[in-house]
Amino acid sequence: MAENIKVAVIGAGMMGKNHLKTYKNMNGVELVGVYDIFPDACKAAAEMFGIKAFSSLEEVATNVNAVSVVTTSVTHADVSEFFLNKGIHCLIEKPLATTEAECKRLINAAKDNNVTLLVGHIEQFNPAVEQMHKILSDTSKICSITAQRMSAASGRITDVDVSMDLMIHDMEVIQSLVKSPVVNVHAAAVRTPSSPKGKDYITAVLEFENGVTANLTSSRITQARVRTLSVTTDTNYIDMDFINQSINVHTQGRMPYINQEEIPDWMHYGLKGSVEQLFIPTNQPLQAELTHFINCVNGKETPRISGENALEALRVIWTIQEKLGFFAQDNKQLSIAAE
């Protein structure tokens, strides 16, 4: 019988606790401990789950095979690179890092040390997204995609704007569906008294090399929780709800009338429509994600969201930020055309 994978979680915030809770109940995993730069938070989490409160990253590295890095975005690069260079497998919560140079450091460190690097784009483990990949096969041509991810400010994420916090989820999913490079980006931000710089409500329009367009809206100032994605194809219209893990497929066609003279004037257009609600077995995406991570560590699967995949999504996010004048990232290679 294979030995359990020894795991620790780096970061004892809300999401870190979610990882701890999930690992604690997984087969094939020994949850060893937790580390956080705030000793009190670390100790409280350790006591909650009956595990060790590590006092340093070095101590973690000598006791585990794999870690979940669930720290603030700006620390992802340094923390994860430390573990990758120690031969420790890493699941890094999105975003992978905050600059192109940092992302490449992590990608290279994983390759050089022959260890798993999985980026925590959890929506790829939502069963509705998994089903969407199956529906949008080569027999159905995507024309356009619309994504909305909106909610009120939670105060949980403060170190990045809404594009890096929320829009990045939809960006990565859309790129995985379209499978074509982004060639142009348009963006606009809503400026309000609570968000004077427009960093909490952003709309972006993307043009892909294969002709597909995508419209993404993300908000942290909307008093309703919305997580939807809709796809217009050459044969139907598909709407998906991330929260409900549901998909509806809308189709429309001509009515098959035998005798056109018998049709009332008001029915001469002769259209019929149908809506098919798909049955999707629900799951817990985080459970699925961490199970996938452990399978990757054991060599049973390859990472569904690689460092390269995550970097491609970030490049578009950085372009959106630049067009809105949020910041100019140093040493980033843009491959997207200017407006």
- The CATH number of the domain holding residue 148 is 3.30.360.10
Position 330 in a domain: no
Question: pTM higher than 0.85, yes or no?
Answer: yes
> pLDDT tens-digit profile of 106-129?
999 999 999 999 999 999 999 999
One domain for residues 54 and 21: yes
Q: How far apart are CA 24 and CA 27, in angstroms?
A: 9
Cβ(7)–Cβ(66) below 8 Å:
yes
The least confident of 115-119, 192-196, 199-203, 235-239 is 192-196
Q: How far apart are CA 325 and CA 321, in angstroms?
A: 6
One domain for residues 138 and 278: yes
> pLDDT tens-digit profile of 301-338?
999 999 999 999 999 999 999 999 986 444 344 434 33
The encoded tokens of residue 248 equal 């509806």
Q: How many CB atoms lie within 10 A of CB 88?
A: 23
> pLDDT tens-digit profile of 10-57?
999 999 999 999 999 999 999 999 999 999 999 999 999 999 999 999
Residue 258 in this model has a pLDDT that exceeds 60:
no
What is the helix (H) or strand (E) element at residue 48, kind and residue range?
helix 39-49
Q: What's residue 277's pLDDT? A: 86
One domain for residues 291 and 270: no
One domain for residues 199 and 294: no
Position 329 in a domain: no
The encoded tokens of residue 234 equal 């050459």
Residue scoring higher pLDDT (257 or 221):
221
**Contacts from 231-239 at CB under 8 Å and sequence distance 24+?**
231/132, 231/136, 231/142, 231/144, 231/145, 231/177, 232/142, 232/143, 232/144, 232/145, 233/136, 233/140, 233/141, 233/142, 233/143, 234/140, 234/141, 234/143, 235/140, 235/141, 236/140, 238/132, 238/135, 238/136
With CA atoms as reference, report the closest residue to 186 among 339, 327, 334: 339
Whole domain around residue 173: which residue ranges? 124-283+315-323
One domain for residues 40 and 113: yes
CATH number of the domain bearing residue 64: 3.40.50.720
Domain count within the chain: 2
One domain for residues 110 and 130: no
